[in-house]
Amino acid sequence: MPELPEVETTRRGIESHVRGRVVTGVQLRVPALRWPIPPEISGVLPGNAIGAVHRRAKYLLLETAPGDVLVHLGMSGVLRVLPADTPALRHDHADLLLDDGRLLRLSDPRRFGSLLWQPRGEIHPLLQGLGPEPLSDGFDGDHLWRLSRGRRAPVKVFLMDQAVVVGVGNIYAAEALFRAGIHPLRAAGRISRERFHALAGAVRAVLAHAIRRGGTTLRDFLDPDGAPGYFEQELSVYGREGEPCRHCGTPLRSLRLAGRASCYCPRCQH
């Protein structure tokens, strides 16, 4: 599943190509992805210019005067800017036709993504109640410490709670906890303020580095230029069960948390 760095890489990759371009038409090949595609996408959007392309959590927002196009890539979605005469393939579900002879195409083999509409001045229900962005000034160790008091949930589950902080998925939560030296099963409410400062710094560092490197290479993800990201080659723990820890050499272990595998070093993380 594309995580925050992959989504941010996509945002940066498409913005320069679509910003200022007028949407001249919309072609929808399916009525719904994860949810029904609202009529505003084809009825209101055409004739409007795309302004900035924003990201909120793992959602992309294409800004126009009457509202925002809200895109989620789901588990396998990809956005690409292509010549307007590029033939559509089986999983190419939606095209936004642009006034420069190109189109913005949403492909999604598993159809777990979404194409939605947020009217100007409103906040879509999916964006309500979200925590701060992990790379924003609103996210730090004090924030994590305050929200964790009394919480018995494992810290990894706590860190992946979108009401706590957005966009920290399984891969980057595992990597940040390793960097901060915190065991994924430790109860969030038993972690000190000092260690939460270390964890917040680790989250920032891991995400920022992944964004610089173009996101993590996953089977279903390619960046808008068709080139895979390279961060996966540098992962410290995720997907490396049984391999030696890059820091101490101890074989890495894995456990299940919230239905997902969580790899960690039993010596470096406590």
Catalytic residues: 2-3, 58, 260
Q: Which two tokens stand for residue 12?
A: 């940066």
Q: Pinpoint the alpha helices (H) of 213-263.
A: none
Name the phi and psi angles at 240, rounded to 5: -115, 25
Q: Which two tokens stand for residue 6?
A: 């992959």
Q: Which residues are annotated as a binding site for DNA?
A: 91, 110, 151
Q: Which two tokens stand for residue 31?
A: 């009525």
CA 209 to CA 220: how far, in whole Å? 21
**Per-residue DSSP letters for 179-209?**
HHT--TTSBGGGS-HHHHHHHHHHHHHHHHH
**Per-residue DSSP letters for 20-47?**
T-BEEEEEESSSBSSSBPPTHHHHTSTT
Q: What is the separation of C-alpha 175 from the centre of its chain, rounded to a whole number of angstroms? A: 15
Contact in structure between 22 and 47 (CB atoms under 8 Å)? yes
